[in-house]
């Protein structure tokens, strides 16, 4: 790609929300950019217009008024040709981040726009080339009912839900493949790269084969139908799935108008060349593929068996659920009875507990009353003994006094 004559724009909104940057003004930030040698060859700084110029490249800084309390908010506008600007975008963002601008937003990136506009036609061509191949092969080799026997239930539902997305052409054509996504188209190829063969054929050949390495290798080759050999040779053996999935990631970025680097562009172009050659070669060889009637039947039988296995699985799940419901239903009556009995037991226990509690309370009251009576009786006896002791003591004192008087 050469956009050397086209001037492209790249704009960034930079905020220092944590107040950690040393930048105070637009002129401070401009001088910091001028000191970043990796950006410039022979740059000049214009303080009046707050701009740096280096040949066809320019960098302009503007202070932005913020109503949310972030004083250090700046708009940086960079212009230059593709070759210069594509390589400098990450450098500029990294430089701002190193200067403690913790919130950075890309407002405009015409480099990514150019890359996306270059990749989109390639993706469009590639996607529709695979649609061409699938239509030609499936309709002419498998039959008009190919969609019914090869599309998954999920894909069929998706396509059916989108049938109103395109009404003009659908009135006249079968447009199912145009309603399928990029990834869905790839899935149709991956699926058929494994091929189909009947179980009876496999068993017959296994019993007949000689037990030698050469005979086994020959058997493995014979077990591949023409159908399988074709898909393996033209898709699986050329690493189609991995390349298609890598291209799908780029396709998503284009569809969502994301940001791109030159590496995305080069990878996309390389994948396009590889994939378009794989599909084109396969399309040119379609007429050489001859499917026998038994091979077509084997294809349909294999798909139908897959659906039967799914139906059987669903039936098992349904039966299991019904059995569980029946078991729960049979247990409901005994459980209800058990709960009722438990409730009665709890009630009896509460009543019994209430009676025991009342009896204990009465016994406690009686015990306390007895203790009080004993204490009262003991107190009365103690008082009587105390009085008697006082009387005896009084009498003894009187006798001692009388005796003392006589001696005197």
- List the CATH number of the domain containing 91: 3.30.310
Residues 265 and 156 in one domain: yes
Residues 159 and 283 in one domain: yes
Residues 94 and 144 in one domain: no
Comparison of pLDDT for 117 and 371, the residue scoring more: 117
Comparison of pLDDT for 229 and 6, the residue scoring more: 6
The reply to whether 212 falls in a domain is yes
Amino acid 167: pLDDT: 87
The reply to whether 231 falls in a domain is yes
Domain boundary among 290, 309, 328: 309
> Which of 19-23, 78-82, 337-341 shows the lowest mean pLDDT across its residues?
337-341
Amino acid 286: pLDDT: 81
Which domain covers residue 200, as residue numbers?
Answer: 116-309
Checking if the pLDDT of 314 tops 60, the result is no
Q: Band the pLDDT of 404: cuts 50, 70, 90.
A: low
Residues 87 and 220 in one domain: no
Comparison of pLDDT for 383 and 170, the residue scoring more: 170
- Report the predicted TM-score, pTM, of the whole model to 2 decimal places: 0.66
Q: Give residue for tokens 């090869």.
A: 150
How many other CB atoms sit within 10 Å of the CB of residue 17?
A: 17
Amino acid 225: pLDDT: 47
The reply to whether 353 falls in a domain is no
Q: What is the pLDDT of residues 278-293, one digit of tens each?
A: 999 999 888 777 665 6
Residues 75 and 139 in one domain: no
Q: How many domains does the chain have?
A: 2
Q: Band the pLDDT of 258: cuts 50, 70, 90.
A: very high
Q: What is the mean pLDDT of residues 289-299?
A: 62
Q: What is the pLDDT of residues 32-84, one digit of tens each?
A: 999 999 999 999 999 999 999 999 999 999 999 989 889 999 999 999 999 99
Amino acid 295: pLDDT: 59
How many residues does the structure list for the chain? Answer: 408
Q: Band the pLDDT of 374: cuts 50, 70, 90.
A: low
Q: Band the pLDDT of 354: cuts 50, 70, 90.
A: low
Residues 138 and 253 in one domain: yes
How many other CB atoms sit within 10 Å of the CB of residue 177?
A: 20
Amino acid 75: pLDDT: 98
| CB contact burial 250-286 (16+ within 10 A = b; e otherwise) | bbebbeeeeebeeebbebbeebbebbeebbeebbeee
How many other CB atoms sit within 10 Å of the CB of residue 14?
A: 24
Residues 134 and 228 in one domain: yes
Interior angle at CA 354, CA 352 and CA 358, nearest 5: 115
The reply to whether 387 falls in a domain is no
Residues 141 and 191 in one domain: yes
Residues 123 and 61 in one domain: no
Checking if the pLDDT of 307 tops 90, the result is no
Q: Which ranges constitute the DSSP H helices of 209-288?
A: 213-222, 226-234, 240-255, 262-285
Alpha-carbon distance of 139 to 89, in angstroms, equals 49
Residues 78 and 223 in one domain: no
Element (H, E) at 379: helix 293-407
Backbone conformation region of residue 319, classed left if phi is above 0, alpha if psi is from -120 to 50, else beta:
alpha
Comparison of pLDDT for 130 and 214, the residue scoring more: 130
C-beta separation of 295 from 195 below 8 A: no
Comparison of pLDDT for 164 and 226, the residue scoring more: 164
Checking if the pLDDT of 310 tops 50, the result is no
Amino acid 97: pLDDT: 96
- Provide the total of helices (H) and of strands (E) in the chain, helices listed first: 12, 6
Q: What is the mean pLDDT of residues 252-264?
A: 96
Helix/strand/coil percentages in the chain, nearest 5: 70, 10, 20
DSSP 208: H
Quick one: tokens of 42? 């022979």
Residues 76 and 167 in one domain: no
The reply to whether 42 falls in a domain is yes
Q: What mean pLDDT, rounded, does the chain reach?
A: 80
The reply to whether 359 falls in a domain is no
Checking if the pLDDT of 196 tops 50, the result is no
Residues 195 and 226 in one domain: yes
The reply to whether 368 falls in a domain is no
Domain boundary among 52, 78, 101: 101
Domain boundary among 277, 309, 341: 309
Q: Band the pLDDT of 207: cuts 50, 70, 90.
A: low
The reply to whether 199 falls in a domain is yes
């Amino acid at each position: 790609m050469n956009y050397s004559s086209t001037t492209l724009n790249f704009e960034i909104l930079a905020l220092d929300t944590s107040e950690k940057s040393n930048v105070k003004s637009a002129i401070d930030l401009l001088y910091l950019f001028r000191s970043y040698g990796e950006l410039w060859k022979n740059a000049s700084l214009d303080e009046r217009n707050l701009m740096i110029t280096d040949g066809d490249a320019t960098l302009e800084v503007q202070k932005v008024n913020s109503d949310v309390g972030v004083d250090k908010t700046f708009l940086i506008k960079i212009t230059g040709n593709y070759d210069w600007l594509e390589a400098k975008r990450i450098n500029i963002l990294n430089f701002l981040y190193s200067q403690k601008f913790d919130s950075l937003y890309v407002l405009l990136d015409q480099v990514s726009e150019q890359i996306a506009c270059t990749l989109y036609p390639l993706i469009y061509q590639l996607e529709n080339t695979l649609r061409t191949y699938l239509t030609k092969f499936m309709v002419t080799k498998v039959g008009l009912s190919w969609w019914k026997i090869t599309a998954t239930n999920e894909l069929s539902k998706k396509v059916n839900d989108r049938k109103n997305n395109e009404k003009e052409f659908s009135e006249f054509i079968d447009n199912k493949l145009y309603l399928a996504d990029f990834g869905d188209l790839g899935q149709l190829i991956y699926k058929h790269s494994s091929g189909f063969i009947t179980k009876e054929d496999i068993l017959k050949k296994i019993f007949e084969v000689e037990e030698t390495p050469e005979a086994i290798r020959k058997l493995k080759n014979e077990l591949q139908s023409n159908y399988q050999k074709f898909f393996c040779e033209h898709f699986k053996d050329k690493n189609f799935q991995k390349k298609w999935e890598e291209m799908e990631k780029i396709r998503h970025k284009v569809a969502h108008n994301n940001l791109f680097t030159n590496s995305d562009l080069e990878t996309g172009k390389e994948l396009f060349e590889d994939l378009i050659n794989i599909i084109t070669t396969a399309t040119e060889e379609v007429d050489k593929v001859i499917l026998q009637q038994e091979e077509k039947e084997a294809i349909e039988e294999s798909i139908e068996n897959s659906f039967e296995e799914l139906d059987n699985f669903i039936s098992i799940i349904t039966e299991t659920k019904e059995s569980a419901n029946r078991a729960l239903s049979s247990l409901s009556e005994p459980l209800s009875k058990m709960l009722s009995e438990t409730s009665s037991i709890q009630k009896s226990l509460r009543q019994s507990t209430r009676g025991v509690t009342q009896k204990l309370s009465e016994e406690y009251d009686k015990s306390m009353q007895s203790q009080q009576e004993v204490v009262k009786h003991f107190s009365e006896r103690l008082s009587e003994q105390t009085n008697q002791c006082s009387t005896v003591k009084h009498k003894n004192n009187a006798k001692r006094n009388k005796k003392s008087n006589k001696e005197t």
